Structure 1
Amino acid sequence: MQSNTDKESLGTQQADLLLDILSTQKALFTEGISEYSLIELLKGPPYAFFDDDALRDPLMLFKTHFVLFHVLYKLKRYWREANEGELDIHTLSIKLAPVTALEKASDNDAVQGEQLKAADALADYYLNWSNFERADRHSVDILLDAFWQKMAGGTLAVFQPEDVEEAHRLLGVSEEENMSLSSLKRAYKKTLQLVHPDKGGNQEDAQKVIHSYQMLLKYYSLK
């Protein structure tokens, strides 16, 4: 049985992975997309991040919504601080608005700092992971376990040897019996930095790296 610490670690691990996925989708957010369409996109290949039941059961829907908005508000802060734009987050429209020339030219660090610290009740709620953990804690422990197992690919997977070999090659790691999460994650983050669109790479290569990481997490049962 997983401890609360284990479940939180699994949850935050999956949230970090989702942040990596969404950070490669700047063009998608520039065009704009609804929450429903984004969840449907993330349910399909090459991501397979959310389970098919994500929108069916009310509790699962809430959990899916919370995780997605938790990551979107993290991405909003990241792109704002990098002067990449302002991510407007609403259920019907999630859209990246360009930074205005005035905002880019502003040298008033104090003003910018205050803007970044401005109270945002929704952001505060979604960025507080304990709000996810506390939701119906006493009555849904079993459902929460099932939720994270599904998000982490807890169902039995069949791996083709050539796919596993390619995943190791892309991440620059050797196949080993006792692969640790820390070493795999370190290799993944290093490789993603090299191919991420924000670092001069491209979306296709970044998606391949993310998919390889997801595959090896399941292959080594690091969840």
Structure 2
Amino acid sequence: MTDSHSPINASYPGAENEDDCLEQQIQHLLVAVEHELRSAPAGMNELSLIKALQKPPWELLGDVVFSEPEKLYPVHFLLFHVLYRLRDQLSEAGESLTISPLNVRIEAQTVVSGEGVPDSVDALRHFYLDLSQYRLPEEAIQQMMNDFWAGAPGQAPAQSETREAAEALGFKSVPTDFPTVKKRFRRAVMHAHPDRGGKTETIQHLNQAFAVLKAHFRHSI
């Protein structure tokens, strides 16, 4: 890849062009992601999965600048592209894949064949399987991120994702009002701030959880 925002941390001498290189990277990621998820039956959040793919024996992703959306987006998109391809593969073997930034896990398939999946899930699958979305201009990426943090996704988050977001902020169940969420979020971010020994990745995880809950309450009105 020649894109300065590329997350790829590998070279493929046999690849004839950029698309070939990307496809080989995806094939390697499919193997690595499935291995990591099967090693974590309870699931992994997106940030943990990214870190696992950066480390030996994989080393398939380069450094990630979590504070810069235009550099985080290609990593996020490539990972979710792989996850949706893996989900399609697993469904043929009677397994399902829960996909959320807060928790990704392999489970036994529970949807009866022929019932299909919600339209919102299909829309996400369509988006992430379209590799043309991988190379969006920076302005488009920034707008998407602004919409996300504003709680403006097109549909309400799934109940399981909402519960996981609440747990990420330290709640035992989904709160009944948004002001309670904001108060807990501010407190959690203060404790996780790098100036207090915290990590940027932790704040990113808290941001994701807050955005999910914000979308939940937005669609509950």
The two structures have a TM-score, normalised by structure 2, of: 0.50
Which protein, 1 or 2, shows the higher relative CO under an 8 Å CA cutoff with sep ≥ 6?
A: 1
More helix per residue: 1
The two structures have a TM-score, normalised by structure 1, of: 0.49
